A and B are shown apart, each in its own frame.
Chain A
Amino acid sequence: MTAQPTPREPSGDVLLDVRDLHTHFNVGGGVLSGGGDVVRAVDGVTFDVRRGEIFGLVGESGSGKTTLGRTILGLAPATSGSIRYGDHDLATLDEKRFRPLRRRLSMIFQDPNASLNPAMTIAQGVGHPLRIHGITSDRAATRAKVAEMLERCGLAPAERFLDQYPEDLSGGQKQRVVIARALVTEPDLVVADEPVAALDMSIRAKVLELMMDLKDELGLTYLYITHDLSSGKFVCDRMAIMYLGQMVEWGDAEGIYDDPQHPYTRALLDAIPLPDPSRKGRDRQLPRGEIPDAVEPPAGCRFHPRCPAAFEPCGWEGRDLVDAIEERWTSVGEDVFERELALVGDLQKAAVGRDEIRFPAADAGALRSWLEDVGPQLPAAVASGIDTVEEDGSDVVVRFRWGPEPGQQDVAGRRVACHLHGVVVRPDGDHVGTPPADRVS
Chain B
Amino acid sequence: MPTATAPDVGTGAPVDERSSLRRRFDHAIKPWRRANPMARWLVIAGLLITSGFGFLALFPDVVAPYGESQYQYVVGTTDETGPGGEACGRGAECEQIPRRAEPGAGFPFGTTSARLDVFSRVVHGARVAFSIVLMSTALAMGIGVPLGLYSGYRGGKLDRVLVTLMDAIYVIPGLLLAIIVAFVLKQYFAPGLASAAIAVGVVYVPQYFRVIRNHTLSVKEEPFVEAARSMGAPPRTIIGRYVFFNVVQSVPVIFTLNAADAVLTLAGLGFLGYGVPFPQAEWGLDVSRALSDVVSGFWWTAFWPGLAIMLLVTGLTLVGEGLNDIVNPLLRVKGFKGKVPKRGEPTPEAEAEVERQMSQTAKRENA
Contact = CB atoms under 8 A, between A and B. Distances in A.
Interface stretch (A20-28, A155-163, A327-335, A428-436): A155-163
B223 interface: yes
B15 interface: yes
Contacts of A178: 227
Interface in B1-45: 5, 7, 9-13, 15-16, 19-20, 23-24, 27
Contact of B231 (A106, A120, A143): A106
Given A147-B9, A163-B20, A140 B15 contact: yes
Interface residues of A, number: 44
Interface stretch (B192-200, B232-240, B273-281, B343-351): B232-240
Contacts of A100: 232
B223 A111 contact: yes
Interface string A119-134: 1110000001100110
Contact of A129 (B13, B222, B232, B242): B232
Given A73-B230, A163-B23, A116 B7 contact: no
B13 A114 contact: no
Contact of A109 (B13, B24, B227, B232): B227
B241 interface: yes
Nearest to B249: A119
A48 interface: no
B188 interface: no
B245 interface: yes
B314 interface: no
Nearest to B230: A107
A117 B24 CA distance: 14
Contact of A117 (B9, B16, B160, B246): B246
Contacts of B245: 117, 119-120
B55 interface: no
B242 to A, nearest CB: 5
A114 B27 CA distance: 18
A424 B194 CA distance: 77
Contacts of A148: 9-10
A139 B7 CA distance: 18
Given A115-B224, A144-B13, A75 B229 contact: yes
Contacts of B224: 114-118
Contacts of B27: 165
Contacts of B228: 117, 128
A140 B232 CA distance: 22
Contacts of A366: none
B226 interface: yes
Contacts of B24: 121, 163
Interface string B201-239: 000000000000000000000111011111111100100
A112 to B, nearest CB: 9
B5 A159 contact: yes
Interface residues of B, number: 33
Most-contacted residue by chain B among A115, A119, A120, A121 (CB, 10 A): A119
Contacts of B227: 107, 109, 115-117, 178, 181
Interface string B301-322: 0000000000000000000000
B15 A139 contact: yes
A362 interface: no
B232 A75 contact: no
Nearest to A123: B20
Given A147-B13, A157-B7, A181 B231 contact: yes
Interface in A140-156: 140-141, 143-144, 147-148, 151
Given A117-B228, A159-B5, A144 B223 contact: no
Given A100-B232, A103-B232, A132-B233, A118 B334 contact: yes
A129 B224 CA distance: 13
Contacts of A31: 160
Contacts of A118: 224, 246, 334
A128 B230 CA distance: 12
A185 interface: yes
Given A75-B226, A117-B246, A181-B231, A159 B23 contact: no
Among B11, B13, B233, which residue has the most Cβ atoms of chain A within 10 A?
B13
B12 A99 contact: no
Contact of B9 (A105, A128, A158): A158
A128 B232 CA distance: 10
B230 A117 contact: no
B224 to A, nearest CB: 5
Interface string B143-179: 0000000000000000010000000000000000000
A107 B7 CA distance: 30
Given A159-B5, A165-B27, 16 more contacts: A75-B229, A100-B232, A117-B224, A117-B227, A117-B241, A118-B224, A118-B246, A119-B246, A121-B20, A143-B15, A148-B9, A158-B10, A163-B16, A163-B20, A163-B23, A178-B227
Please name the 7 residue pairs, one residue from A and one from B, whose CB atoms are nearest each other, closest first.
A102-B232, A119-B245, A147-B9, A129-B231, A115-B223, A157-B7, A114-B223
Interface of B: 5, 7, 9-13, 15-16, 19-20, 23-24, 27, 160, 222-224, 226-234, 237, 241-242, 245-246, 334
Interface of A: 31, 70, 73, 75, 99-100, 102-103, 105-107, 109-111, 114-121, 128-129, 132-133, 139-141, 143-144, 147-148, 151, 157-159, 162-165, 178, 181, 185
